[in-house]
Amino acid sequence: ALPISVDKASDHVIGLSDDVSLKVLDKDGQALAAKQELSKSTQCAELAVARVYKLTVGSWTLVLGPTDATGVKAIVASLAHDEDAH
């Protein structure tokens, strides 16, 4: 399991280097459904799969697998636009 912390509520993309099962759990252990799975044409070449989740402020846990992969890389990025940057 991989704990993450979110400081701004927004849609987040979670990308994985291998196409493995992913559960996103809130602080109470409840699974959050993905809003969208991004197509290969919109992903970074190193990512096998990327999904969008609407995450609120707080702690979340990413649970990967089961998998035979010896190591899975994950990237989490907010899709929110910084309104102060205008």
Predicted local confidence at residue 81, as pLDDT? 67
Predicted local confidence at residue 39, as pLDDT? 74
Predicted local confidence at residue 42, as pLDDT? 58
Predicted local confidence at residue 86, as pLDDT? 43
Q: What is the mean pLDDT of each run of 10 residues along the chain (86 residues)?
A: 94 92 96 89 76 96 88 89 54
Q: Which residues of 16-35 are buried (b: 16+ CB within 10 A; e: fewer)?
A: bbbebebebbeeeeeeeeee
